[in-house]
Amino acid sequence: MLFGMTALRVAGGGACFAAATLCSLACHAQDFPSRPIRLIVPQAPGGGTDILGRNVAQKLGELLRQPAIVENRTGAGSLVGSEYVAKAPADGYTLLVGGIFNIVMNKALIKNISYDPLRDFVPLGFTSAYPFVLLARSDLPVSNLAELVKYAKDRPGRLTYGSAGIGTLQHVWGTILFRSLGMDALHVPFKGAAAAHQEMMAGRLDLLFDNMSASKQYVQSGRLKGLVVSSAGRSGHLPEVPAINETGLAKFEGESWFGLFAPAATPAPVVEILRKALTGIVADPEFTARIERDGGRVLAIPPREQHRFMQEEIERWTKLVAQYGVTVD
């Protein structure tokens, strides 16, 4: 009998504790947000990630009726800002503007990474995805991918391809693509994609595999050539440029995607509030039109599938990075 009464007291105490915890979370959610929210962009101001972060911040502030402020925390590629959010208080007030560059590629490239994307972050939702375009300088004597491969193989090690820096998508995807095509080209890292574009237009850089949002203007104006795109099919912005898989020369499909993330221990009610806000943002016609105008598409993934999407992307690109020997050393 004494045992039964003790068990009853413990069970009752556990129930009270659970009820108190639920009440605490519910009250926290009712009060959230009660002060400004910070969106940490782990890259420099003015780039595509920064611009997207500011667009999301504006809409988030309108929906939650609290200011959403973008804070750029740069350093070590995107490691400094990403690690900062991973270790931030899990209260919903410090969020990460992330994407394939810091959620997937950092994990695939860096052996002793200071954060684990799957363990340390909870996805609040994904916003957009953009294909890449393989650009060639306007006077390079090739007009399609087959001609480029032949031209490169006749001149091993002489063609150059640029990037926004070692470990960036331009570097990683460019290396994977060229090696899968059997091309021997020299990687030339810059401090940003804009500098690489300028070098191409000056005729001093041969190739660049870059985001559609940054690339399409140069192809449309004729200042650079667009040889292929990395999406599953052709883009409406560059309908004359074939998809890589369409050429039959290589299998390559990828999009640069973006999303919003919170520290993993963020209370579920707060996560739900932020997820609903982000769902509202990607459904906003003005936001959608802006994404599509830049050459991307809205990336709507249900919450139950978001973690699996991250895991599958990490596994896929980690395998390709290892297969083609891409390093950041």
Query: How many domains are contained in the chain?
Result: 2
- Identify whether residues 275 and 216 lie together within a single domain: no
Closest by CA position to 199, among listed 189, 186, 213: 189
**Residue 245 has what pLDDT?**
95
Range of the domain at 263: 35-130+255-323
For the residues 273-281, what does the mean pLDDT come to? 96
CATH number, residue 306? 3.40.190.150
The pLDDT of residue 312 is above 60: yes
**How confident is the model at residue 200, as a pLDDT?**
95
Give the tens place of pLDDT for each residue, 38-88: 999 998 887 778 889 999 999 999 999 999 999 998 887 788 899 999 999
From 191, 225, 247, the end of a domain falls on 247
Question: Is there a contact between 114 and 76 (Cβ–Cβ < 8 Å)?
Answer: no
Tokens of 222: 């004729």
pLDDT recorded at residue 142: 98
Q: How confident is the model at residue 302 (pLDDT cuts 50, 70, 90)?
A: very high
Last residue of a domain, one of 247, 279, 296: 247
Same domain, 230 and 299: no
**The pLDDT of residue 29:** 59
**197 part of a folded domain:** yes
Q: Is 229 in the same domain as 259?
A: no
168 and 119 in a single domain? The answer is: no
Q: Are 1 and 13 in contact (CB under 8 A)?
A: no
Q: Do 213 and 302 fall within a single domain?
A: no
Calculate ∠ Cα 107-43-198, nearest 5°. Answer: 110
Q: Of 218, 247, 276, which one is at a domain's C-terminal end?
A: 247
Residue 47 lies in a domain: yes
Predicted local confidence at residue 32, as pLDDT: 95
Backbone phi and psi for residue 44, each to the nearest 5 degrees, phi listed first: -70, 155
- The pLDDT tens digits of the residues spanning 285-300 come to 999 999 999 999 999 8
| Distance in angstroms (rounded) separating the CA atoms of residues 201 and 95 | 38
Instruction: Give per-residue pLDDT as tens, 201-237.
Output: 999 999 999 999 889 999 999 999 999 999 999 999 9
> Do both 118 and 137 map to the same domain?
no
First to last CA, the chain: 68
Do 234 and 277 fall into the same domain? no
pLDDT tens figures, 129-175: 999 999 999 999 999 999 999 999 999 999 999 998 888 899 999 99
Do 163 and 243 reside in the same domain of the chain?
yes
Q: What are the tens digits of pLDDT across the range 11-45?
A: 344 434 333 434 444 445 568 999 999 999 998 88
d(CA 236, CA 321) in angstroms, rounded, equals: 30
Q: What is the CATH number of the domain that holds 160?
A: 3.40.190.10
pLDDT average, residue stretch 248-273: 96
Calpha distance 21→43 (Å, rounded)? 37
Residue 2 resides in a domain: no
Confidence of residue 313 (pLDDT cuts 50, 70, 90): very high
| 81-122 tens-digit pLDDT | 999 999 999 999 999 999 999 999 999 999 889 999 999 999
